[in-house]
Every structure is written in structure tokens, then in C-alpha cells.
């Protein structure tokens, strides 16, 4: 039997850092990365044959649980008919219709927005492609070049969006990325999150040059930092007053925190111009999407002048996985996810309090994270000010007890509909020892 350490040595000889996505290297938690070979429900199993209760969930897509029978069968059935055709398939239309219908149902609810924000959908392969396409579309629609983003928000790794990004960029403490030309970086204006005065100021100074504001609907890439009440609605109002668009990034929250994503549960109704989806919408396979009103979306080729293409866009296996996942995300599934998330989150906070660890628990729907701070962080600067050194020993203690957490303090915890009482109990039982490890931690 091979070990995780042996697999990592072999991987480092073949791939940069031994990984194909930086956070997988476990560098920020000072641990050997686990190499998984199978998964089922709320569990994952590594090359050494050890089983863990999983709170990563493939970074969100495994919302029904790993290897859900209906999703697996849908993919197997699709594969039996061919892995891809380089041509259109009925399944693409069906998934696009399903995405639009979920958002429309929310728009029609009492208190919902008056207009339907998703009349057309373009399928792509990754969240990075989705946000990149949304920005290109916004620039094409407005004839402007500048984009406003918020520090700590992660919108994929396209050149213009890596400045002060969250997720892996935050984990590695990188200000941005080498290889991004200064002229491209200058087209992105980065301002503090949850600060409407900063939004008004940047628009007052350069409003006639700004094509769009892009925002995570409820940030989950610097830990969970919920938007202030009415923040997204105010963003829409400010952007529209200056002829700019609002791009709502729901790659993480879309169809996870509710049937219509964060858009569906935001307490103050608003209408974004474009919404990007990912993770859940592909059911664990590479698929993402951009949605918006017909007049805007039909600026995309072949109807309009904004070009976007992808050989694997709308791949039939990914489409099948996404459709099966959304089909099984009913009210009962969301109720199970919400209940399990509440139990785990409250148990984590209780264990840390019992151990005397300064912390806050922040939630956006069923997404949550622990941050080692005395007050709830509201932006990237306050997130970075926490005692992040407490997370690595906390993480390692959970891992040693068979619980796989996100390997970074800057990531959300993901619960699935398959996290039953047995899985939740294993997590809860592991928390006191992990909390004590966090309490004993000291800065380097």
C-alpha cells in the first residue's frame, strides 16, 4: 500500500508543487496532503485506506453527498452515448431551462424582484470562464473598460481579477500574481468590501469609465463574511445610476444556500444584470454558467459582437451531472443540509468557547466558517487581522480524528444532504480536542 507522503513525493516530481490547484498542497496547515481514491455520501477515503468525514465536498459541488446514486447513474447513462460531440445536445437546453426556472420562481415570490434576471444562459467549463465572460460581456455592452471588485473576493484566476483576491491567493498570502501586465491590473479598481461610501467614491471619480461591479453574492473565499443588510441592492442602484452593470458571482453560493442561491434569500430584493454559477450547477464535473436578460446575453456570439467559445462547454456528462443534482435538490434536501450545518457550526463554536479560544462563527445560509477574531470580520483587512495561526493545529487535530476540513482558514465549510447523524456525531466528537489544540497554539 502506498502512503500519502509517497504519493506527494511522486506528485511533486511530476507537477508544480505536486498539485493542480495550490490549496491542495496543504501548505498553510503544515500537513501532508491527502490523496483520495474514493468517496461516498459524507465520506472520503485516502490511498492508505483511511476514511474521513468530509467537510470540503469538492469545494461545494457534492451538495447531495459524494457519488450520489442518481448523479452517478445520470453520468453513466450519458457516457454510454458518447463523451462529447463538439455539437449541441438537448441536455444543454434542459440544464439552461432548469437554471433559469429556479431563478424565475424566486423572482415571482412575494418580495422578489420585479424582473427576471436570467432569460438566457451560456454554459462554460469553469467558474473562471464564467466570470471572465461576464466581464467581457459587460465591457462589450457598455463600451467601458474598468471593473470594480472588492478586496478578498475571489472570482477565478483570470488576469484582471487576481488583485487582493481571496481563496488560494489569500491562503498563500499573495497580493496578486506574477505574469499579470500592469496595464491589465490597472483596469481593475479594488475597494474595501461592505463599504458603500467607497463604492460611491469610486463611481464619483470614475463612474463614466466603469463597465461593471463584480461581487460575490455572499463572500465565501475569505471565510464567510456576509454582506451588510441591503448591500447588494445598494450596489445595483449605484452601478445602474452610472450606467454600469452589476455582476453577481454565485459560483459558490448558487443553488447551495437555497433553491435560487443567495439571490433567492437576500433580505432586500434587487436585480443583478449578470449572474455567474458554478460548483453545484455541474454536480461535481467541470461546468459553470452565465445568466442574464436576453437583450444582454444575446450580445454574445453568434448573435452579437462579444466572442466566447469552448470546445468542452456544455459537455454532456457535466450537463447530466448538473441536471441530476438540481433535480434532487428539493426542500427536504435543503432542510437536511441546513440542519446539519447548524449542528456542526454551533458545536464548533461551543467547543472553541469551552477551550477559551477567541473566535466568531459567521454564516451565510448553510455556509459557515470559524474565524479567530474578537469581532465579526466585515472586510478583507479585518479577516487578515485574525489569529490565523490557530487554524493549522485545529485542522491537524480534526484530520487526526478522521475529519477532513478545508485546508485553509480562508475557506468555507461545506455540508451535504448526506451528512446524517452518524457523520455529524463524528465531527462533533472530534471538536473538543481540536479546540484545545487551537487554544495551545502560538504564533511563529
171-202 residue pLDDT tens: 434 456 677 777 888 889 999 999 999 999 99
Dist. CA 163–CA 395, nearest whole Å: 27
Q: How far apart are CA 212 and CA 438, in angstroms?
A: 41
- Residue with C-alpha cell 468557547? 353
CATH number for 139: 3.40.640.10
Instruction: Catalytic residue, from 43, 52, 154, 380: name it.
Output: 154
Q: How far apart are CA 356 and CA 351, in angstroms?
A: 9
Q: One of 249, 266, 273, 379 is an active-site residue; which one?
A: 249
Residues 6+ apart with CB under 8 A from 20: none
- pLDDT for position 77: 98
Is-catalytic flag, 154? yes
DSSP states of 99-156: HHHHHHHHHTSTTS-SS-S-SEEEEESSHHHHHHHHHHHHHHHH---EEEEETT----
Question: Residue 222 falls within a domain, yes or no?
Answer: yes
For the stretch 294-342, pLDDT in tens is: 999 999 999 999 999 999 999 999 999 999 999 999 999 999 999 999 9
Q: What share of the chain is helix, strand, coil (3-state, %, to 5)?
A: 45, 15, 40
Q: What confidence score (pLDDT) does residue 171 get? A: 41
Alpha-carbon gap, residue 309 to 128, rounded angstroms? 14
- Looking at residue 172, its pLDDT comes to 39
Using CA atoms, how far residue 20 sits from 267, 375, 408, 422, in Å, is 38, 35, 16, 32
Question: What phi and psi values does residue 275 have, to the nearest 5 degrees?
Answer: -125, 135
Active site residue 391: no
Residue 442 falls inside a structural domain: no
Q: Which of 43, 149, 279, 334 is catalytic?
A: 279
pLDDT of residue 316: 97
pLDDT at residue 205, rounded to an integer: 95
Contact 196/234 with Cβ under 8 angstroms?
A: yes
DSSP strand pairing (51-54 vs 403-404): parallel
- Specify if 248 maps to a domain: yes
What's the pTM? 0.93
pLDDT score of 106: 62
Position 176 scores a pLDDT of 61
Task: Tell me, yes or no, if 249 is annotated catalytic.
Answer: yes
Per the domain annotation, does 187 fall within a domain?
yes
**Looking at the chain, how many residues does it have?**
444
Unique residue bearing C-alpha cell 479598481: 189
Residue 151: how many other CB atoms lie within 10 Å: 21
CB 381 within 8 A of CB 164: no
Give CA–CA dist 47/38, Å, rounded. Answer: 9
Contact by Cβ (8 Å): 266, 232: yes
Q: Is residue 407 part of a domain?
A: no
The per-residue pLDDT for 305 is 96
Give the pLDDT of residue 165: 54
Overall number of domains in the chain: 1
On whether the CB atoms of residues 372 and 388 are closer than 8 A, the answer is yes
| Residue 281 is assigned to a structural domain of this protein | yes
Residue 261 covered by a domain: yes
Q: Tell how strand 360-364 and strand 367-371 pair up.
A: antiparallel
Residue among 422, 358, 367, 433 at smallest CA distance from 395: 433
Is the residue at 252 inside a domain? Answer: yes
**CA angle 50-278-158, nearest 5°?**
100
Q: What is the mean pLDDT of each run of 10 residues along the chain (444 residues)?
A: 95 95 92 97 98 97 98 98 95 97 73 75 96 97 96 87 57 56 85 96 96 97 96 98 98 96 93 96 97 97 96 97 98 98 98 98 97 96 96 98 96 97 98 98 90
The range of the structural domain enclosing residue 150 comes to: 82-328
Q: What pLDDT is attached to residue 109?
A: 62
Task: Report the pLDDT value the prediction gives residue 110, as an integer from 0 to 100.
Answer: 64
Amino acid at each position: 500500500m502506498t502512503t500519502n507522503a509517497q504519493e506527494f513525493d511522486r506528485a511533486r516530481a511530476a507537477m508544480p508543487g505536486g498539485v493542480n490547484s495550490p490549496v491542495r498542497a496543504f501548505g498553510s496547515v503544515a500537513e501532508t496532503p491527502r490523496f483520495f481514491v474514493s468517496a461516498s455520501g459524507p465520506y472520503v477515503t485516502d490511498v492508505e485506506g483511511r476514511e474521513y468525514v468530509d467537510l470540503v465536498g469538492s469545494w461545494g459541488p457534492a451538495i447531495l453527498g459524494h457519488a450520489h446514486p442518481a448523479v452517478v447513474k445520470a453520468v453513466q447513462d450519458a457516457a454510454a452515448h458518447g463523451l462529447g460531440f463538439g455539437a449541441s445536445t438537448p441536455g444543454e437546453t434542459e440544464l439552461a431551462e432548469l437554471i433559469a426556472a429556479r431563478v424565475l420562481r424566486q423572482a415571482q415570490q412575494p418580495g422578489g424582484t420585479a424582473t427576471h434576471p436570467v432569460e438566457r444562459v451560456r454554459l462554460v467549463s469553469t467558474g473562471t470562464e464564467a466570470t471572465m465572460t461576464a466581464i467581457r460581456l459587460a465591457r462589450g455592452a457598455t463600451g467601458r473598460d474598468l471593473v470594480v471588485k472588492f478586496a478578498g473576493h475571489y472570482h477565478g484566476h483570470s488576469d484582471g481579477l487576481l488583485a487582493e483576491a481571496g481563496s488560494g491567493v489569500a491562503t498563500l498570502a499573495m497580493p496578486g500574481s506574477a505574469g499579470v501586465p500592469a496595464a491589465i491590473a490597472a483596469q481593475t479598481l479594488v475597494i474595501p468590501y461592505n463599504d458603500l461610501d467607497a463604492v460611491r467614491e469610486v463611481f464619483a471619480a470614475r463612474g463614466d469609465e466603469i463597465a461593471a461591479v463584480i461581487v460575490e453574492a455572499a463572500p465565501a473565499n475569505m471565510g464567510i463574511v456576509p454582506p451588510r443588510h441591503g448591500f447588494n441592492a445598494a450596489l445595483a442602484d449605484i452601478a445602474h445610476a452610472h450606467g454600469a452593470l452589476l455582476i453577481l458571482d454565485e459560483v459558490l453560493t448558487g443553488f447551495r444556500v437555497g433553491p435560487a442561491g443567495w439571490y433567492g434569500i437576500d433580505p432586500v430584493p434587487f436585480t443583478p444584470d449578470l449572474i455567474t454559477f458554478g460548483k453545484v450547477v455541474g454536480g461535481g464535473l467541470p461546468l459553470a454558467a452565465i445568466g442574464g436578460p436576453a437583450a444582454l446575453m444575446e450580445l454574445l456570439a453568434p448573435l452579437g459582437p462579444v466572442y466566447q467559445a469552448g470546445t468542452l462547454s456544455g459537455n454532456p456528462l457535466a450537463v447530466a451531472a448538473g441536471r441530476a443534482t438540481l433535480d434532487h435538490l428539493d426542500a427536504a434536501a435543503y432542510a437536511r443540509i441546513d440542519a446539519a450545518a447548524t449542528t456542526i457550526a454551533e458545536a464548533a463554536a461551543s467547543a472553541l468557547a469551552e477551550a477559551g479560544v477567541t473566535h466568531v462563527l459567521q454564516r451565510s445560509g448553510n455556509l459557515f466558517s470559524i474565524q479567530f477574531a474578537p469581532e465579526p470580520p466585515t472586510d478583507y483587512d479585518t479577516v487578515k487581522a485574525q489569529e490565523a495561526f490557530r487554524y493549522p493545529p485545529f485542522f491537524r487535530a480534526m484530520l487526526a480524528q478522521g475529519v477532513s476540513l478545508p485546508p485553509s482558514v480562508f475557506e468555507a465549510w461545506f455540508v451535504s444532504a448526506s451528512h446524517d447523524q452518524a457523520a455529524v456525531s463524528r465531527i462533533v466528537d472530534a471538536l473538543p480536542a481540536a479546540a484545545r489544540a487551537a487554544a495551545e497554539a502560538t504564533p511563529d
